[in-house]
Structure 1
Amino acid sequence: MQINGKTAISYHYFQRIKESLTFAATVAALLLTQLRVALIMSLVRYFKLINIFQVLFKLFTIEFGIDSSGSALDLANENIVLNELNQGKVSFVKGDATTFMKGAISENELWDLVILDPPKLAPRKKVLQSASGMYRSLNALAMQVVKPGGLLMTCSCSGAMTQSGMFLKTIQGAASMAGRKVTVLRQAGAACDHPIDPAYPEGQYLSNYLLRVA
């Protein structure tokens, strides 16, 4: 997740410079530090991998993280203090991401970069079909709160989803549901600190896509 997070940041930084700050469909003079970043669902649990967020704090205005886990939010706040980061740049909200995103859509709230990292929705193959519907709905909502030309990093830690190869199809379905067009900029899995034993393919659990949302 640390490597994938850094990739999202580097893509966003590079694209805004390369395209004269136009790809997010905002005024070309928009400063990099004015980018709006939303960390939705369980991503804040990765604040122990604080290097990602040290970069985020330097480059972006992080508005909030939302998670249903109070302990995850406590850990995120602890790490901000421990790493002497600006606590005024981010707030954490305990709540349901689906409800939050629906509210944001109704208020026409949009972000330059959204990172969606839900919990494992398909722990077993027998629930894969129902879980794919949940992933599709979540991603459709997330796409609707991304500015045209902005980025969505979406993740699945469900081994059944990753091993079936259904996640990309689910993303395509989400784009159709949201009325948005997406382009895959990068596909990734777990970093090298999560090695895969060929004798245990079930260990290949993480899917990660970086998308440009039009």
Structure 2
Amino acid sequence: MNQVVLKAGKDKRVRAGHLWIYQGEIGIIGIGVKPGEVVEVLDNRNRFLGLGYYNYSSQIAVRLLTTIRERVDEDFFRRRLQGAIRYRERVKPGASCCRLVYGEGDLLPGLVVDKFEDYLVVQFLTMGMEVHRDLILELLVELCRPKGIIERSDLSVRHLEDLPERSGCVYGENPGPLLIRDNQLQFRVDLLEGQKTGYFLDQSANRAALAPYVKGRKTLDCFCHVGSFAVHAAAYGASSVLGVDISEDAVRLAAENAELNGLQERCSFKTANAFDFLRDQSSLRERYDLIVLDPPAFTKSKQALEGAVRGYKEINLRALKLLPPGGILVTCSCSHHLHPDLFWEIIAAAAADAKRRIRLLERRTQGLDHPILVGVPETEYLKCFIFEVIQ
């Protein structure tokens, strides 16, 4: 097996539990290492650190798979997939939809598998997983017995690994628009054409967390997408819900999802830029009792963080101005590069500028089916705070 030897002092992060090794941390690379090939990783004193796959095209040169000497073969991947499946059976018993494999969080960096009823959606995001693609698909069929597997490896991140984007039905049948259940509510999703893998499973527990707060409240759901928060709010007793999204297709699906659950009389949806809508509502001195802010990631790189900070502050400031004392703000960020402490500072600054005093009710993150691996902070990306306006 080829070897990768790290420079002096560059093993500390790996020893602390991280799975990534950057190109600049490598001192010696074995001759003829192929993209995606599994290599031994050694420190500068030739002490074994683990096995991982290498790709010279990526800034993340090696992603560790294991810290013990073992064969990375069919049995290895079967054990890892079985472990991921058993974990979901413990933390989400009986769930018909969940994230079945969460990359680094399941020690399978570069692989994502979502379960939607009897179907799977897979993403191969790195060269190391791409070279094992056929084997992993075979194992997923063996272990899960799905009616179909849809591949959604159509993300730009694959270009960083020198891989083309790809999508399509790779096993069984494509269900087309599929009816799924989330917290006992129904939603229609498109696994092949919808955003990401079709539906944002990471917010499932946070949507359920609305239940104690929303009854009898006039609710606004900004960046509503297909209406998942909005429909949950109505189901949990909101007096009325208005969902806003810039996408006409998303708003149409949101209205359909409200109707699917018999909640169309309390739900309405509007196609609009959420920034402009919040600003206009503030000018009109509108009031809402509960507001949900669940925007898409405002930044996918550290370089764009400054602009993202301005965006997060603006929407939180505008929302807080629309909430009276006793009002509830549910505010989220899925931007990994926005640290939770910085998100907290942004909200505090927005509250000060809006002249609102707020108190924290809940500090939440992604669901347990998106496990956070200690030592790999990148596995924790979703931030969800629930605040009450007290004056």
TM-score range, shorter chain: 0.7 to 0.9
SS, match of residue 337 in structure 2? helix
Residue 93 of structure 1 aligns with which residue?
A: 270
Q: Alignment partner for residue 327 of structure 2, among 135, 150, 165?
A: 150
Q: Alignment partner for residue 77 of structure 1, among 252, 255, 263?
A: 255
Structure 1 stretches of 5 or more lacking a match? 14-31
| Separation (CA, whole Å) in 2 of partners of 1:151 and 1:58 | 15
1:7-46 matches, cutoff 5 A? 7-13=209-215, 32=216, 35-41=217-223, 43-45=224-226
RMSD after superposition? 2.0
1:105-184 matches, cutoff 5 A? 105-162=282-339, 165-184=341-360
| Separation (CA, whole Å) in 2 of partners of 1:101 and 1:54 | 21
Segment drifting more, 143-152 vs 126-135: 126-135
| Separation (CA, whole Å) in 2 of partners of 1:157 and 1:115 | 14
1:80 Cα shift?
A: 2.1
1:190 to 2:372 alignment: no
Question: Which structure has the highest helix share of the two?
Answer: 1
Contact 2:210 2:236 (8 Å CA) reproduced: no
Contact 1:132 1:170 (8 Å CA) reproduced: yes
1:56 to 2:234 alignment: yes
Max radius of gyration: which structure? 2
| Separation (CA, whole Å) in 2 of partners of 1:206 and 1:184 | 17
Amino acid in structure 2 at the alignment position of 1:60? A
Kindly indicate whether structure 1 or structure 2 has the higher relative contact order, using CA contacts under 8 Å at least 6 residues apart: 1
| Separation (CA, whole Å) in 1 of partners of 2:263 and 2:307 | 41
Contact 1:8 1:210 (8 Å CA) reproduced: no
| Separation (CA, whole Å) in 1 of partners of 2:247 and 2:369 | 25
The superposition leaves residues 161-206 of structure 1 with CA deviations (integer Å, 9 ceiling, x where unpaired) of 136x210001001111111111111101001122234464312110
Q: Describe the shift of the 1:9–1:146 C-alpha distance in structure 2 as closer, same or farther (beyond 3 A).
A: farther
Contact 1:57 1:89 (8 Å CA) reproduced: no
Amino acid in structure 2 at the alignment position of 1:181? R
Q: Describe the shift of the 1:129–1:58 C-alpha distance in structure 2 as closer, same or farther (beyond 3 A).
A: closer
Amino acid in structure 2 at the alignment position of 1:195? P
Q: Describe the shift of the 1:55–1:139 C-alpha distance in structure 2 as closer, same or farther (beyond 3 A).
A: closer
Segment drifting more, 150-159 vs 176-185: 176-185
SS, match of residue 226 in structure 2? helix
1:151 Cα shift?
A: 0.3
Identity %: 30
1:72 Cα shift?
A: 1.7
1:62 Cα shift?
A: 2.5
The superposition leaves residues 97-142 of structure 1 with CA deviations (integer Å, 9 ceiling, x where unpaired) of 1211121112211011000111101211122122111111110001
1:3 to 2:205 alignment: yes
SS, match of residue 367 in structure 2? coil
SS, match of residue 146 in structure 1? coil
1:12 Cα shift?
A: 4.6
| Separation (CA, whole Å) in 2 of partners of 1:115 and 1:171 | 14
Q: Describe the shift of the 1:104–1:207 C-alpha distance in structure 2 as closer, same or farther (beyond 3 A).
A: same
SS, match of residue 212 in structure 1? strand
Q: Describe the shift of the 1:155–1:36 C-alpha distance in structure 2 as closer, same or farther (beyond 3 A).
A: same
